[in-house]
Structure 1
Amino acid sequence: MPAWTTKETFGNPIDFDIARNGFHLTISDRDQREHTLTWLQDHGYRLVRFDASLWADEPDMLTEIGTALDFPDYYGVNLDALNDCLSDVAEHDYGWKGDEIGLVLVVTAFEAFHRVAPKAASSLLSILAGQSLYAALFGNRILTITS
């Protein structure tokens, strides 16, 4: 099953535009970001919000993401474990409900985290991009919005 049907792409819907451009969108303007998030939520997406300015280091990021997406107890709280668990999220095993059309990870103040932990910040975006592509193979939708 495709993640989008041809009919669903008519009119350039916001979700398809984000996916078509790499499943990730950076939106600096607060009003535009809130408009986009409202549209996504109104169209059945689960929004999971993170304030990256509260992450002092990689373990803070990993812990908060694992908690928010209900990772299993065996989650190792490292980048490899994040990638592994996000593959389960991509397969729709946990992290979002069956009646939700997709998952949107919203990371505000991403640049603040990038300044204190550049490797972890870059790795996070890389992992999310890969898992978004993986999700699409199953007809699932995972999008990332940063600001």
Structure 2
Amino acid sequence: MSGLSGVFAGRRPPGIYRWHAAYDVSDVRHTVEHAGWRFGYVDGWLAETKAEFLDAVGVALDFPDYYGRNFDALNDCLRDLADRGDDTVLLWDGWGPFARADEQAFAVALRILTERAEAADHERGGRFLVLLRGAGPDLDVPSLD
């Protein structure tokens, strides 16, 4: 998991990355948590619509009960993670079906996730890393491999 370790060691910035590593989710979780980061997992094969994605990310990142399951609420809850100083990795397997089924909603979701990653306060915590794993449309997103 050298690319992931590079982020943890500060050699690569947190952000949005394509990731082709075939590690089991439990192994990724263990590595992330061992590094002191929170871990969230979205199984995109079960979250192919906007509503399903918003539900899945809320569960994955343990958002509070008042999470409104819309893009404004997603943005707010991600900001709350940063305010608490939680360094977080979100592994999003199978993101391609959502990206293909609803290009506009996927673009909004990706923009919100990207803005959250770029707004992180690296001094006090709150770093955010999203790993897009699996096949999908071409994106202007670097690879972590």
Tell me, yes or no, whether TM beats 0.5: yes
Give the residue type in structure 2 aligned to 1:13: G
Is 1:139 aligned to 2:125, yes or no?
Answer: yes
In structure 2, the CA distance between the partners of 1:17 and 1:116, relative to structure 1 (3 Å rule), is: farther
Q: TM-score, normalised by structure 1?
A: 0.70
- State the identity as a percent: 29
Alignment correspondent of 1:49: 41
Is 1:61 aligned to 2:53, yes or no?
Answer: yes
Shift of residue 128, structure 1, vs aligned partner = 1.1
Give the residue type in structure 2 aligned to 1:144: V
Shift of residue 106, structure 1, vs aligned partner = 0.3
Is 1:110 aligned to 2:110, yes or no?
Answer: no
Segment drifting more, 45-54 vs 35-44: 35-44
Does structure 2 retain, via aligned residues, the 8 Å contact 1:14–1:40?
no
Shift of residue 54, structure 1, vs aligned partner = 0.9
Q: Within 2, Cα distance between the matches of 1:92 and 1:132?
A: 15
In structure 2, the CA distance between the partners of 1:71 and 1:34, relative to structure 1 (3 Å rule), is: closer
Shift of residue 26, structure 1, vs aligned partner = 0.7
Q: Secondary structure at the match of 1:74?
A: coil
In structure 2, the CA distance between the partners of 1:70 and 1:40, relative to structure 1 (3 Å rule), is: closer
Alignment correspondent of 1:129: 114
Shift of residue 64, structure 1, vs aligned partner = 1.6
Does structure 1 retain, via aligned residues, the 8 Å contact 2:50–2:98?
no
Is 1:78 aligned to 2:64, yes or no?
Answer: no
Does structure 2 retain, via aligned residues, the 8 Å contact 1:18–1:25?
no
- Structure number with the higher helix fraction is 1
Uncovered stretches (5+) of structure 1, i.e. residues with no partner: 1-11, 97-101
Post-superposition CA distance 1:57-95 (Å, at most 9, x none): 1011111212232323332211111111211112128xx
Shift of residue 108, structure 1, vs aligned partner = 0.6
CA RMSD for the aligned pairs? 2.8
Q: Within 2, Cα distance between the matches of 1:47 and 1:71?
A: 13
Uncovered stretches (5+) of structure 2, i.e. residues with no partner: 134-145
The ranges of structure 1 where at least 4 consecutive aligned residues each deviate by more than 3 angstroms after the TM superposition are 33-41
